[in-house]
Chains A and B, each alone.
Chain A
């Protein structure tokens, strides 16, 4: 077990290192640079800025310097937003994304699991069919479509909900629903098939034969086993909720980390690009490792490889 965890962590670190390296050289490959678009800065001042931020050195030296600092937890200061450190930017923007993403994930679990179970228990009946249609559509409709359609009907047409910003609980409703739509549909689908799988197992028949109550069979035996495959999906789902918020944040003009990342790429704000990439990648990779390890603990049938 310890060996397995260690192996996964090492692979996670390697992946993180590769992502950081790729990002560093990719963003430096893009012509221009953080100060090129700014016409108000004179050539001489630009040169001074390059020297100040160490951007005049050869790329490999820059890379080594950056990595050294990053390992020590220093992600530098933003090249565009003067005087703000990358850590500060992440600290202010990430909680916003995390809150919306977190609520969306919880909502998806709270709705998707019951939906899938109900569909499996009423296999072939009307309830099952309705849920199948919902989950198939939910997977097919991109989040920006859901966002915009909701925005049109509830924001513009009916005027019930605010369409931008994030100041009251009402502001959360549309972004959270838009973000949780896909994972809800996906979980419902997964839950249905894993529940059907469990219902066909021998131990279900044994439980019934023992004379256990319907309630006990359902909660103690069926649900517990059927929920296991969902656990593996939690990691990718949180990743989706954080990264998928790019679109949602853009549409509802929410000051989150996703929007910050896209704009830093467009502005070529090198330190912010690196900082957000490493930060988000760490979260996503770390979650995947955590979920895989948790899964092997919860389900002893899984063989460690």
Chain B
């Protein structure tokens, strides 16, 4: 064969022109099977150790707050005569007498408060209240914020302009001032409402708790609305939205089925990060004496009462303080993990 040393032509063999075998085809196929949005996100979340640890911490705290009190031998409002201000794991003289006679007495794991109520169960109930506030308030924020934001972005134009100016104004309202005023102002109307037939549920929830929810519903949805609007503004230019409109889908259906479902990652992340800030606000209000009603404890009010006896009974302060910090910390870290896992912008 004639051989040109300078040619750039590769050396070709007849075998190179044979059809590829099955194995060769296989090796060129997609490297991994396609993974759905949820599976992919959860896989990435699982790899994030910090987020998983905080997730388990949240689960444990949820169990302690919602299931353990049902099996706990003490109740959060029962005042046990003679066992006031007990230190953790100590017994009153009556209880010691009972134990001497062979009866079993469940220890006061965290001691008792100045009215003789078991402190461990009070801390558990306080955690429950704080968690309920965090979860419900974030849910309210999610609903109002996502509906408002998506309507504003979807219809655009004047509608968007006016709706966003309202958001801007609410955004600049100094929230704490209004919260203090609102919780105080809503107290009596709600109490009157609770007295009417059919509204007894208001009392079981607690007037202050409801007013906290109303405050959140009025003031805190604006952040969510802004984020949702930003997402929808991008999404609404997508082809599938045009296609859906061409097929005659109603505006409500497009928003619900196409737009909001496509920013579900952002919605989840923002809602999760809203929970700690709601808990934060509730504890702040309870601390100022505007939170949940007595005898219902919340972590903020427990810490607030503990300060009065700080000199003699410092241990009363540590349990609620540590728990509230732990709850806020783990929700924050878990929310960060969720954002890394589900926010497509950070996907590598």
Chain A residues within 8 Å of B, Cβ to Cβ: 11-12, 14-15, 18-19, 22-23, 26-27, 29-31, 136-137, 139-142, 144-145, 148-149, 151-152, 156, 239, 243-244, 246-247, 250-251, 261-262, 265-266, 273, 277, 280-281, 284-285, 288
Please give, as numbers and ranges, the residues of chain B lying within 8 Å of A246 by CB-CB distance: 176, 180, 284, 288
Pair B284/A19 contact, Cβ less than 8 Å: no
- Find B276's partner among A14, A22, A140 (CB 8 Å cutoff): A140
Please give, as numbers and ranges, the residues of chain A lying within 8 Å of B284 by CB-CB distance: 142, 144, 246-247
CA–CA, A191 and B172, complex, Å: 24
CB closest chain-A residue, reference B321? A145
CA–CA, A182 and B163, complex, Å: 32
CB closest chain-B residue, reference A182? B280
- Find A19's partner among B173, B189, B321 (CB 8 Å cutoff): B173
Please give, as numbers and ranges, the residues of chain A lying within 8 Å of B182 by CB-CB distance: 26
Pair B332/A262 contact, Cβ less than 8 Å: no
CB closest chain-A residue, reference B336? A136
B193 at the interface (CB under 8 A from A): no
Q: Work out how many contacts link A and B, with CB atoms closer than 8 A.
A: 116
B210 at the interface (CB under 8 A from A): no
Pair B314/A152 contact, Cβ less than 8 Å: yes
> Closest CB-CB distance, A42 to chain B, in whole Å?
24
Pair B169/A29 contact, Cβ less than 8 Å: no
Chain B residues within 8 Å of A, Cβ to Cβ: 165, 168-169, 172-174, 176-178, 180-182, 184-185, 187-189, 276, 280, 283-284, 287-288, 300, 303-304, 306-307, 310-311, 314, 317, 321, 324-325, 328-329, 332-333
- Find A31's partner among B165, B169, B188 (CB 8 Å cutoff): B188
Pair A280/B177 contact, Cβ less than 8 Å: yes
- Find B181's partner among A156, A251, A273 (CB 8 Å cutoff): A273
CA–CA, A149 and B317, complex, Å: 8
Please give, as numbers and ranges, the residues of chain B lying within 8 Å of A27 by CB-CB distance: 181, 185
Pair B328/A142 contact, Cβ less than 8 Å: yes
Which 7 pairs across A and B sit closest by C-beta, in order of nearness? A140-B329, A140-B328, A145-B321, A26-B185, A243-B176, A141-B325, A284-B174
> Closest CB-CB distance, A282 to chain B, in whole Å?
10
Pair B176/A144 contact, Cβ less than 8 Å: no
CB closest chain-A residue, reference B179? A243
Please give, as numbers and ranges, the residues of chain B lying within 8 Å of A140 by CB-CB distance: 276, 325, 328-329, 332
CB closest chain-B residue, reference A18? B169
Pair B328/A285 contact, Cβ less than 8 Å: no
- Find B178's partner among A19, A30, A151 (CB 8 Å cutoff): A19
Please give, as numbers and ranges, the residues of chain B lying within 8 Å of A277 by CB-CB distance: 177, 181
With contacts A22-B181, A142-B325, A280-B174 known, what are 18 further pairs, Cβ within 8 A? Answer: A19-B174, A19-B177, A22-B178, A23-B181, A30-B184, A140-B332, A141-B325, A142-B287, A145-B303, A145-B325, A148-B307, A148-B310, A149-B321, A246-B180, A246-B288, A261-B180, A262-B288, A280-B177
- Find B173's partner among A15, A244, A247 (CB 8 Å cutoff): A15
Q: Which of B178, B181, B332 has the most CB of A within 10 A?
A: B181
CB closest chain-B residue, reference A151? B310
Please give, as numbers and ranges, the residues of chain A lying within 8 Å of B333 by CB-CB distance: 136
> Closest CB-CB distance, B230 to chain A, in whole Å?
14
Q: Given A148-B306, A156-B314: A142 and B280 within 8 A (CB)?
A: yes
Q: List 7 A-B contacts (CB under 8 A).
A: A18-B169, A19-B177, A29-B185, A136-B329, A142-B283, A144-B300, A145-B303
> Closest CB-CB distance, B70 to chain A, in whole Å?
28
> Closest CB-CB distance, B180 to chain A, in whole Å?
6
